[in-house]
Amino acid sequence: MHLAAALAISLFVYLDSWPVGQFMLGRPVLLLPLLGLLVGEPLLGLWLGLVLELITLRSLPMGSALPPDPALAGAWTLLGISRATGLAQGNAQGAPHWTPVLLALLIALPLCWAAPWLTWAQRRINGALWRPRFLLAAEAGDVRACGRAMGATFTQTLLLGALASLAAILVVEHAAPLLEPLALRLSGHRLAGLLPLPWALLAFSLGGLWRHAAGRGGNHRLWMGLALGTVLALLMAVRP
């Protein structure tokens, strides 16, 4: 994928995460399978989206809190990996099929916790650089100056987002081939069949979702859902 297209996608995800609208279009469970399709790695996108969604489902952007950002981290990871050259392409080499997922997770998980620093920096800049301009405009009752201040804030937000995305995509692009041997080693370990990381993470996060749901809706509804899910799963198992 061309770097400009990768940057445009990253910016779209970043803007949806907090400065504009928050339409949830950047949720990993939707965004990453779509991005996977776009970069020719649909299953990788699907797995990464599923696992990152589960890990961060309980992290809420309440007040001034900056929770992990799985959408931006996942997007940077997928876009960077799709641009990386020299990857052994786990499946093609006959490696266990979760090797690419492990590689993507090794990169995406630290990025989940690193990406909110971009938001933190932007909010600091807003306070130091743009807030005085807005307040001066308000003091003078100048509507046009206030509009110009918003334009400048938004443009600078876009520039910082583009710069951070460029750096992140390039880092992932160059780090992926270096980390691939570790992913191969982990997936080739004798315990890998017993303890696949994506599944353990998935289960861990589902447990967290359970805890959250039980606290909000009552245990009996949780068990009702569990029974319903079991019936559905059994029906699928016996389906010809």
Partner 1 sequence: MNRALLRRLFWRSLLVQAAWNYRGMQHLGLLWAQLPAMPEDPQARKEAMARAAEFYNAHPYLCGYLLGAAAKLEPTGGGEALSRLKKAALSPLGAVGDRLFWAGLRPMAGAVGMLALALLATSPQTPRAGLPLALGLTALAVAAYNAIHLHWRWRALQDGYELGLGVAQSIRALVSHRALAHTGAALAVLAGVVPPLVLASARGDGVVEGLGGALVFVLAMLAGWQLPARGSALPLALAGLGLMWMFM
- Residue 205 Cβ vs partner 1, minimum distance, rounded to whole Å: 6
Give 5 or 199: the residue with its C-beta nearer to partner 1.
Answer: 199
Report 99-128 residues binding partner 1 (CB under 8 A): 109, 123-124, 126-127
Binding-site member from 24, 163, 167, 178 for partner 1 (CB under 8 A): 24
Binding-site member from 6, 44, 54, 75 for partner 1 (CB under 8 A): 54
- In the shown chain, the binding pattern of residues 158 to 177 toward partner 1, with x for contact by CB under 8 A and - for none, equals --------------------
Binding-site member from 38, 87, 166, 214 for partner 1 (CB under 8 A): 214
Binding-site member from 1, 3, 7, 25 for partner 1 (CB under 8 A): 25
Sign of CA dihedral 52, 56, 62, 67: negative
Give 41 or 173: the residue with its C-beta nearer to partner 1.
Answer: 41
- Residue 121 Cβ vs partner 1, minimum distance, rounded to whole Å: 12
